[in-house]
Amino acid sequence: MEYNITVLRGDGIGPEVIDQAVLVLNTLGARQGITFNFREEMMGGCAIDAYGEPLPLSTLETCKKSDAVLLGAVGGPKWEGLPGDKTPEAGLLGIRSGLGLYANLRPAIIYDELKEASPLKNSVIKDNIDILVVRELTGGIYFGDRGRLNRGTNTEEAYDTEKYSVAEIERIARLAFKAAYGRRGIVTSVDKANVLESSKLWREVVIRVSKEYPEIRLKHLYVDNASMQLIRDPHQFDVIVTSNLFGDILSDEASMITGSIGMLPSASVGGGTLGLYEPIHGSAPDIAGQDIANPIATILSAAMMLRYSFNQNAAAELVESAVKKVLAKGYRTKDISSEGFKTVGTKEMGKLIASEIKAV
């Protein structure tokens, strides 16, 4: 098999973590007889520096033609204060929407090996935690009408609009219900239907769609309550389906339950097999270039790519079990390390995971 992957290394620690994911994929490919063709393009701050815009058309075109996109992270202080549509983040939103990737899957899994890294008490995380946040990614307040009125005067106002159509809610709800099969079969839909009209529609549509999936149990929570419940009793959650903004916030919260945002991968998918795979963490400019960033989230994102875009489930499991083995042997990057562990750098962590794959 042969796959074409567009690589967007991005800014900050992006290039460092991407390099390790590419090493792991190449090692896996050599072992499994899979060829990965990597083509690098620019997006984010690096693209602003090189081309004057965060998402050059050529980057988007290359992504569209490839089988999958692997992304590091974008942004940094250097590009702060640019107009809204010229920021590195605007490039990220442009690529998600330009590729029609309406669903963002963010698994928050607590590894047994990493339980001690969770800030929650052992009594709260007694069993394994395995939550999948399904975040709507190309609608809502991120893409609604926004603007400023009376610019520059002391009566200045700014607004952003949350808007969802039935079709947008239906497709993300279906994806969440389907994802619940083969898991614990519970979907929690998170909204703010006690206040927002868009949330009232969200809830109505999710209830209607749920009738197509009678085996799946549907629960509803208001977002404020959901954010509390995630900390109080994370085990009650299986699949969480929610809007773009609520999903952004709740997935960061869910990630912290697992101990480190440096561990969590994500997949952004749409109607076809083309997907965008990126760690949920940011570009962390404060630690860039020091070989201390945790590459595991990006390596696990590559595993999600194998599973969702290439349907290579066995290969994905190989990568995931290599990660677990390295953790079980006591190796940790700085963010998840503590006394008694062997602290290693970004490159060393990548090498260790690659050698576990070779050793199988």
Burial degree of 57 (CB within 10 A; 0-12, 13-18, 19+): exposed
Which is catalytic among the residues 191, 192, 325, 331? 192
Q: Residue with CB nearest Mg ion? A: 248
Which is catalytic among the residues 219, 252, 334, 347? 252
- Per the annotation, the verdict on 248 as an active-site residue is yes
Query: Binding of Mg ion at residue 320 (CB under 5 A)?
Result: no
Site residues (CB under 6 A) for ligand IPM, limited to 278-337? 280
How far is it, in rounded angstroms, from Cα 230 to Cα 196?
A: 22
Site residues (CB under 5 A) for Mg ion, limited to 229-248? 248
Which is catalytic among the residues 111, 142, 164, 308? 142
**Among ligand IPM, Mg ion, none, what does residue 356 contact (CB within 5–8 Å per kind)?**
none
Which is catalytic among the residues 191, 248, 331, 335? 248
44 vs 350, beta carbon nearer Mg ion: 44
6 vs 283, beta carbon nearer ligand IPM: 283
Which is catalytic among the residues 224, 329, 342, 358? 224
Residues 6+ apart with CB under 8 A from 165: 139
**Among ligand IPM, Mg ion, none, what does residue 187 contact (CB within 5–8 Å per kind)?**
none
- Per the annotation, the verdict on 142 as an active-site residue is yes
Q: How far is the CB of 248 from ligand IPM (least distance, A)?
A: 4
**What secondary structure letter does DSSP report for 290?**
S
Site residues (CB under 6 A) for ligand IPM, limited to 224-253? 248
Residues 6+ apart with CB under 8 A from 220: 188, 189, 190, 191, 193, 203, 206
Q: How far is the CB of 280 from ligand IPM (least distance, A)?
A: 6
Tokens of 204: 């109505």
CB contact at 8 A, 64 and 94? no
State the amino acid at position 227 in one-letter form. S
Q: How far is CA 330 from CA 23, 154, 156, 311, in A?
A: 21, 58, 55, 31
Q: Quick one: CA dihedral 78, 9, 281, 273, positive or negative?
A: positive
Q: Out of 53, 89, 113, 170, which residue is the one contacting ligand IPM (CB under 6 A)? A: 89
**Among ligand IPM, Mg ion, none, what does residue 92 contact (CB within 5–8 Å per kind)?**
ligand IPM
How far is it, in rounded angstroms, from Cα 239 to Cα 95?
A: 25
How far is it, in rounded angstroms, from Cα 356 to Cα 360?
A: 7
Quick note: the x/- pattern for Mg ion over 245-274, rule CB under 5 A, is ---x--------------------------
H-helix or E-strand spanning residue 201: helix 197-210
Quick note: the x/- pattern for ligand IPM over 90-119, rule CB under 6 A, is --x---------------------------
Residues 6+ apart with CB under 8 A from 313: 306, 307
Binding site for ligand IPM (CB under 6 A): 89, 92, 248, 280
- The residues annotated with a catalytic role in the active site are 142, 192, 224, 248, 252
Binding site for Mg ion (CB under 5 A): 248
